Amino acid sequence: MTRAFGRVALVLFLVLAAGCATSSGTGKKTASVWRSLSADERARLETARQEALERRLSGEPVAWGSAATGRAGEVVVVRTLRLADGRYCRDYRETLRISGKQVERHRRACRDATGYWRTLSQKA
């Protein structure tokens, strides 16, 4: 095994192991956690989301948080693509840390005619 392959295997293992410690964003219980965000927290999340989608490279996180509640999270673009209709879209991951737990959800947003990134769907 080459040294480079060993490093890649180690990184992959660490990523997969970290994923086991988080909750997926598909369950009803997880959805209620996201709905529990205050208006201020939602605004902070939306600002971080727009920053990540508009200005950041894939893999570069944008953090947000609320000192008042202690809730925090980040938005990370996973990939950029162009749909058959010509729209640019980005798949992204949102992570939320609340009460010592971490939940995440995967979504896709596309740029609309005004230049705003609109979330289309949850990614499985």
Residue-range domain boundaries for the chain: 23-122
pLDDT given at position 1: 42
What would the pLDDT profile of 7-58 be if each residue is shown by its tens digit? 433 333 333 333 333 344 456 666 788 899 999 999 999 999 999 999 999 9
Q: How many residues appear in the chain?
A: 124
CA pair distance 63, 60, nearest whole angstrom: 10
Q: What are phi and psi of 65, to 5 degrees?
A: -170, 165
